[in-house]
Amino acid sequence: MYRTRAELRDAVRRLIGRVPASELGGKVGDPLPSQPTPTNSAINDAIDEAIAELNRAVLIGDTTGHQAYSVSAQTTNGPCVIQLKEDAARYSVISVQWNQDSTYLLLEPSMMIIERTNEETLNTPPGVPQKWWTEGDKIALLPAPATSGTALVTYTMGIALPEPDTATITGVPEHLLPAVTTIAARRLLITELGDYEMQARSAQLAAEAAQLKLDWQEWYARRNLRGGPTIDMFSYRRH
């Protein structure tokens, strides 16, 4: 069973119909030259988002942290990207609020894989931020703020984002690891709007992911009832 980030990438590629290079004698985690997409970076981002989704599913009410980021007024179109401090970057961001003139606005979560391929997103002029998404150890706000303010970031201390490729996942049973790869694969397929075969595969993965998420929640609840530790960190950081 796969446990490293490189092995997770291979598993994701198989789920979306790609052949990993390792099956033909290449490096674990890499694509075949004839199938360069999705890239390793894109799959890493999808894995990070899957881990964040699973953290949100099981860690409600667990330990959370908050960090405030002062953001200056922006003048260029597109999202405003904020580098997270170490704690928030290591764990999973679950919400972002925008504070301007002492008024807090809870922003709508989105996904990088959708926003970064959307021309409208890249051309959105500055205004009052309405939504956010993660980009590895950063968050992006859209619209970028036209007036200076503060982004209040809330994060959970769950499964940490993985780095390097050789680090292993600990504390999670092997039979639950497909939850990470299935959710990641579905996220990658969401953008394949013109490919009906891929959309059908995405719908199938969505159903599988829903059941796997329930299995993950049941395992987490049983583990905590037994008095065991919470989900262990597998401490690798992206890129």
**Could you count the other beta carbons within 10 Å of the beta carbon of residue 38?**
23
What does the pLDDT read at residue 104? Answer: 84
What percentage of the chain carries pLDDT values higher than 70? 78
Domain holding 80, by residue range, is: 69-156
Q: What is the pLDDT of residues 161-192, one digit of tens each?
A: 556 677 666 556 778 889 989 999 998 887 66
Q: Domain tally for the chain? A: 2
Note whether 118 and 175 are same-domain residues: no
For residue 209, give the DSSP letter: H
Per-residue pLDDT at 97: 92
Helical H segments across 19-66, by residue range = 40-58
pLDDT number for residue 231: 36
Residue 62 has pLDDT above 70, yes or no: no
pLDDT tens for residues 195-224? 677 778 888 898 998 998 888 888 777 655
Query: What DSSP element (H or E) covers 187?
Result: helix 178-189
Does residue 232 lie within any of the structural domains?
Answer: no
| pLDDT surpassing 50 at residue 238 | no
Among the candidates 135, 156, 177, a domain finishes at 156
User: How far is CA 173 from each of CA 82, 130, 179, 231, rounded to the nearest angstrom?
Assistant: 34, 38, 11, 10
- Whole-number pLDDT of residue 162: 59
Average pLDDT, integer, range 43-51: 86
